[in-house]
């Protein structure tokens, strides 16, 4: 019986870092990286993202430190277990300099509709229909009927 408790304690403390492909809102593939366990931190997720992407990546969303709990029946007893879950969703191939460029573009007052058309802009650039952010912005704004 003590062996079961030891195994449960180890599972709570040392979860495995895992990843799986996900479809991102802009239509490209990204990865959901999961880093469970009390002995893990977000850096473990970031290291796995770097390996999955073979280099630069952009963080699409991050959820850190979600507390999870459950009950495990063992014989006539019930044992309650708890753990920490962290998730990082990334898009590969987007460097920090590109992120900075996009943030600056979004903050420019001459692009008031950026957040309304950003996903369409990404599709336009990735498909080659627009050469840069400015072209993509004005095409997307025009197609959305915004002024």
Strand partners, 79: 72
Per-residue pLDDT band for 147 (boundaries 50, 70, 90) equals confident
Enumerate the H helices of the chain as residue ranges: 2-13, 42-53, 96-107, 114-126, 133-144
2-94: CATH, from 3.30.460, 3.30.70, 3.30.420, 3.30.2000: 3.30.70
d(CA 101, CA 141) in angstroms, rounded, equals 19
Backbone phi, then psi, for 136, in 5-degree steps?
Answer: -60, -40
Residue 64 is classified by DSSP as E
pTM (predicted TM-score): 0.52
- Domain map of the chain by residue range? 2-94, 97-144
- Mean pLDDT computed over 23-36: 86
4 has a pLDDT exceeding 60: no
Question: In 33-64, which positions are buried (b, 16+ CB within 10 angstroms) versus exposed (e)?
Answer: bbbbbeebebebbbebbeebbeebbbbbeeee
9 has a pLDDT exceeding 50: no
pLDDT tens digits along 52-94: 998 888 888 888 665 656 666 777 777 666 677 888 889 888 6
* Nearest alpha carbon to residue 99 among 51, 57, 55: 57
pLDDT of residue 47: 92
pLDDT of residue 14: 52
């Amino acid at each position: 019986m003590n062996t079961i408790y030891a195994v449960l304690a180890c599972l709570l403390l040392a979860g495995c870092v895992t990843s799986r492909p996900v479809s991102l809102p802009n239509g490209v593939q990204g990865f959901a990286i999961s880093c469970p366990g009390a002995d893990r931190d977000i850096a473990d997720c970031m290291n796995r993202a770097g390996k999955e992407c073979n280099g630069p990546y952009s963080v699409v969303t991050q959820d850190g430190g979600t507390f999870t709990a459950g009950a495990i029946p063992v014989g006539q007893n019930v044992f309650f277990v708890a753990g920490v879950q962290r998730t990082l969703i990334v898009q590969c191939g987007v460097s920090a300099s590109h992120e900075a460029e996009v943030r600056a573009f979004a903050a420019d007052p001459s692009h008031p509709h950026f957040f309304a058309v950003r996903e369409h802009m990404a599709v336009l650039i990735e498909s080659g229909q627009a050469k840069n952010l400015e072209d993509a912005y004005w095409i997307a704004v025009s197609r959305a009927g915004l002024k």
